[in-house]
Structure 1
């Protein structure tokens, strides 16, 4: 059974209104079923993870080039189309500061801006808050959209999925990611908050919160 905002590889995008002013278009791209998110707000737009299928992303973008393309972390399946889309759109490129060099080298892009906790990414007249989540990679980031008077939205890359945190390479990385998720995500946002991950269906913090102890206990 399909979950929240379900998209399929090669299939059509799903369009959802996040607030009275911001629309999210979600598209599955590439062989690893990566989610790319195009957020359109008043006076601007942001693309989250130019992961693959540059031609499909550019068709989705159309004549309104995003002001910014955000890459959530350094893993190659999240930036396969970054160079091509960046060349076509001339958008500003943003990623987590600790992953900046790895993404610039891997994706062959220049003028990549590193961000971290406390920074924001403009979404036209509104903004997305940057949240650093160390563990899946050293520089993974989530983006938070707090719509006026509405439900909050978190774009978590591969740091949080329905059913648990993203993959980590050591017990220390797992502990770091869980600490950050518990303090910066579950400790800062309410149960109605929607989570938009780097792969698969969306979820809510209320759905996932009861399982935090289980995740700690199983170690992944």
Structure 2
């Protein structure tokens, strides 16, 4: 069996990781922005959730296939993460999920109503699988992470644009937003989750909490 690396490129082959109760498929779209989209499938029921319908709806719908889509989660309001939302929802009838503070902006930009406005500690459920919503303020007001606490293994975390290998998300030169984001990432992610937690960002390669933990103080000191 091929080992999952999470190293995907727009126009390239998706990468799939098989967990005990969940199958994760990562695909990159749009050569300019290189957004990551993640299709999660519950093994027990074949129900599927898409994290970020970022672009290239034809690629995403082909990935979704005949199994259909239960929900689509948008991690935050920025345009590059929801350009295919309208097409995907129209084709699948999926429930639209987003953070409460970003929901109105997502609807304004896409024309798609947000059915489920989630906050810190809420859950996104599909089949026998459950994702915990973690509100991470700073990159946008309503950015969310999604935590899958694998009952048969290590935690898995989708971070949108709030955490990457090498630092937190862009706060556009706003010192207050940076402090909020680094504090949220520190307390809600690094203080809580074990080193082996694998995280999946909105762009680029994956990493683990343990690999990034030694750099937290450095990130805080540099201010970005």
TM-score interval for Structure 1 and Structure 2 normalised by the shorter chain: over 0.9
TM-score (ref. length: structure 1): 0.96
Structure 1 residue 163 corresponds to structure 2 residue 166: yes
Q: Is the 8 A contact 1:4 1:203 kept in 2?
A: no
Match of 1:209 in 2: 213
Post-superposition Cα deviations, 1:39-96, rounded to whole Å, max 9, x if no partner, equal 0012221100000000000000001112110000000000000000000000000000
How far is the alpha carbon of 1:118 from its aligned partner?
1.3
Q: Is the 8 A contact 2:21 2:129 kept in 1?
A: no
Match of 1:38 in 2: 39
Indicate the SS of the match to 1:63: helix
Q: 1:94 aligns with which of 97, 101, 111?
A: 97
Range that drifts further, 108-117 or 23-32: 108-117
In structure 2, stretches of 5+ residues that fail to align are: none
- What aligned pairs does 1:97-136 form with structure 2 within 5 A after superposition? 97-136=100-139
Q: 1:61 aligns with which of 58, 61, 64?
A: 64
Match of 2:17 in 1: 16
Partners in 2 of 1:159 and 1:65 — Cα distance?
28
Q: Which has the higher contact order (CA 8 A, sep 6+)?
A: 1
In structure 1, stretches of 5+ residues that fail to align are: none
- What aligned pairs does 1:183-194 form with structure 2 within 5 A after superposition? 183-194=187-198
How far is the alpha carbon of 1:24 from its aligned partner?
0.3
How far is the alpha carbon of 1:112 from its aligned partner?
3.1
- The CA RMSD measured in Å over matched residues stands at 1.1
Post-superposition Cα deviations, 1:149-185, rounded to whole Å, max 9, x if no partner, equal 3010000000000000000030000000011001100
How far is the alpha carbon of 1:111 from its aligned partner?
4.2
Aligned length: 217
Q: Is the 8 A contact 2:155 2:196 kept in 1?
A: yes
Match of 1:200 in 2: 204
Q: Is the 8 A contact 2:103 2:114 kept in 1?
A: no
